Amino acid sequence: MARKEQIDALLEQLGPVLDPLGIVAYDSENAWRIQVTEDVGLILDFDEEQGKLVMSCDLGAPPPGDRGKLYELMLRNNYHWDATGGSRLAVDAPDGNVVLIFDMPAAELDVSRLNGVIRRFTDMSRAWRQVVTQPAGSKSSPAEVGSDSVEFPMIRI
């Protein structure tokens, strides 16, 4: 089972490989913030008991109005865990921000795999941010997505 010291060492190795804008450790919380690019920052939380890293990215709040289609789209994405590698979407509060979340076992994680997961997660975050923040009725807003289609950003992690 992985320990916090191993995750710290892994993130030190990650810096030169990923070349993020910054990595900040929050030791008391077993968490790190990785500013991958100017527009994408993510949080890595280490759950030592369960031996997993939980990666999350705030995608912003949807515009006011009917959010039902967006929330339906998010639920359909969560249903397709087999196509997304297990990533999921959630809302952090009533009328709050949408958050993209992915957990991975930490035990056999190496810098190459972590780098790949972060890069794919970053791509997925950008795609979902566009969907989440578009006003209802815009050309590719969630309201335009058919109920029987799977037309949402799916990048297998």
Rounded CA gap, 77 and 83, in Å? Answer: 9
pLDDT attached to residue 71: 93
pLDDT attached to residue 81: 86
Domains along the sequence of the chain with CATH: 4-129 (3.30.1460.10)
pLDDT attached to residue 52: 95
Contacts of residues 83-90 at CB distance under 8 Å and 24 or more positions apart, as own/partner, are: 83/150, 83/154, 83/156, 84/124, 84/154, 84/155, 84/156, 84/157, 85/156, 85/157, 86/157, 87/121, 87/124, 87/157, 89/59, 89/128
H or E element at residue 23: strand 22-26
pLDDT attached to residue 142: 46
- What is the side-by-side strand order in the sheet with 98-105? 22-26, 31-35, 41-47, 52-60, 98-105, 88-91
Which regions in the chain score pLDDT beneath 70? 1, 136-157
Rounded CA gap, 47 and 139, in Å? Answer: 40
pLDDT attached to residue 72: 93
Q: Is there a contact between 41 and 112 (Cβ–Cβ < 8 Å)?
A: no
pLDDT attached to residue 13: 96
Q: Report pLDDT digits (tens) over 47-57.
A: 999 999 999 99
